[in-house]
Amino acid sequence: MLARPALEVAPALLGAVLTVRGTPGEAGSGGAGVAVRLTEVEAYSGTADPGSHAYRGRTARTAPMFGPAGHLYVYFTYGMHWCANLVCGPAGTASAVLLRAAEVVAGHDLARHRRPAARTDRDLARGPARLAQALGLTGADSGLPLQVGGRAELALAPAPGPAQVSTGPRVGVAGPGGDATDYPWRFWLTGEPTVSAYRPGTARRRRPG
């Protein structure tokens, strides 16, 4: 299912359950880890997408994005947060789906331990950085395969119907002309309380050469 274009994979991931098992010696993990139900995602189409990390080609950081499908791509942002993506599409295309928000469905105590600032369980994985933190994902997990019984495992759910899915511009990402609506590639479960708040992007100005 993941070896398809990001725009097809992204909405199909809504409702799927991602489990990431704890690491040995981590306080409170017991090896069981945390499981989340995905409620909000964004599609990124690699070298054809100005918003993608892979837009300018392959680098050491973005190498996992180039496939094969079914791996994690985890990156550091704003000098303080990790964010997680599921790599999709044919090998070599650099397609990925950013995991923006989720509902914790198992491992609540561990998620609360990792996210002590969360005021309610709704906020444990509400936003991409919070989601990665609740799951215990870091850059060391970039390239990690999704495997049954492995550290990370994905269980797909029946695809939600059109009436259950809302779409809109990606958060904090502007299109080539500065208009985020050029890329309405964010998908979320309609009415789901764990979905993150929308923040429009701004076009980056190039420095004079």
Alpha helices in the chain (DSSP H): 6-12, 108-114, 128-135
Task: Look up residue 158 and give its DSSP letter.
Answer: P
pLDDT value for 189:
97
Q: Is residue 170 part of a domain?
A: no
187 within domain boundaries: no
183 or 101, greater pLDDT? 101
- The answer as to whether 196 is a domain residue is no
Q: Answer whether residue 22 shows pLDDT above 90.
A: no
Residue 147 has what pLDDT?
A: 95
| Residue 104 maps to a domain | yes
pLDDT digit string (tens) for 120-174? 999 999 999 999 999 999 999 999 999 999 999 999 999 889 899 999 999 887 6
**Torsions phi, psi for 11 (to 5 deg):** -65, -25
Does residue 172 belong to any structural domain of this protein? no
Q: Does the structure show a pLDDT above 80 at 30?
A: no
Residue 93 within a domain: yes
What is the tally of structural domains in the chain?
A: 1
Q: Is residue 205 part of a domain?
A: no
CATH code of the domain containing 26: 3.10.300.10
The amino acid sitting at 168 is G
**What are the phi and psi torsion angles at 35 (to 5°)?**
-120, 140
The β-bridge partners of 101 are 40, 126
Domain extent, residue 155, equals 6-163
Residue 206 lies in a domain: no
